[in-house]
């Protein structure tokens, strides 16, 4: 139980959710290209670590397909009209994974589909790790308040690099070098710094040289 409260991560008990990163949002959601770029590298790392992936599309006839730069062309897409990603095929996939403890959540919009999905997952007793630099909204006020609401509800707020390092746990991991290449450069700016005050004390400090044993390799 202590591990669950701490939000420990393991590839074998995690699944990545990619929520509604679709064409029609390209010009309306703040920092959309950067958010997709971050989500794409999380997806690539999860492929390396054999973490299962679930992709949804909100009303795809109206809002278009998942953007190609995400790199999810070969993955099935689950259409939906409700805000939560937990449509019946996704529910079935979760039920088929009895060892699942953690969902890694990326996508849009934070105050709508991300929040609704996270609350449904928390209701099921799952740990939810919201990758804050891979989530956005049209309004930055909505984004900030939704992140605060997610934190209040028990979701873990994390960054893409922190998430991937927690999945690896050790520089001796057999896929470390492959994932290291994905996070060697800092993630693109997705406009989070001005929002941190709204989230309350988060701890941490400005980014310096990597302390995880990979900077000079």
**Catalytic positions, please?**
20, 80, 113
HSE (CB half, 13 Å, CA atoms) of 43? 24
In DSSP terms, 104 is beta-bridged to 16, 129
HSE (CB half, 13 Å, CA atoms) of 149? 15
Which ranges constitute the DSSP H helices of 21-114?
32-48, 60-63, 88-95
User: DSSP code of 174?
Assistant: T
In the three-class reduction of DSSP (H, G, I as helix; E, B as strand; rest coil), residue 130 is classed as strand
| Spatial separation of the C-alpha atoms in residues 114 and 98, rounded to whole Å | 23
Q: Do 56 and 18 form a contact (C-beta atoms < 8 A)?
A: yes
């Amino acid at each position: 139980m202590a591990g669950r409260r701490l939000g420990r991560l393991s590839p074998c008990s995690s699944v990545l959710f990619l929520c509604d990163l679709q064409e029609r949002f390209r010009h309306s959601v703040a920092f959309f290209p950067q958010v997709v770029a971050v989500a794409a590298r999380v997806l690539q790392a999860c492929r390396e670590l054999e973490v299962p992936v679930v992709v949804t599309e909100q009303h795809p006839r109206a809002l278009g397909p998942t953007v190609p730069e995400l790199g999810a062309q070969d993955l099935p897409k689950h259409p939906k009209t409700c805000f939560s990603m937990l449509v019946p095929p996704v529910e079935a996939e979760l039920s088929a994974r009895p060892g699942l403890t953690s969902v890694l959540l990326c996508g849009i919009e934070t105050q709508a589909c991300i929040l609704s999905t996270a609350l449904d997952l928390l209701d099921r007793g799952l740990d939810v790790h919201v990758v804050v630099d891979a989530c956005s909204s049209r309004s930055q006020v909505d984004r900030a308040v939704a992140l605060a609401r997610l934190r209040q509800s028990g979701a873990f707020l994390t960054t893409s690099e922190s998430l991937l390092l927690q999945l690896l746990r050790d520089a001796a991991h057999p896929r470390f070098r492959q994932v290291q290449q994905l996070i060697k450069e800092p993630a693109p700016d997705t406009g989070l710094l001005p929002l941190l005050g709204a989230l309350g004390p988060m701890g941490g400090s400005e980014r310096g040289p990597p302390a995880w044993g990979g900077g000079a390799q």
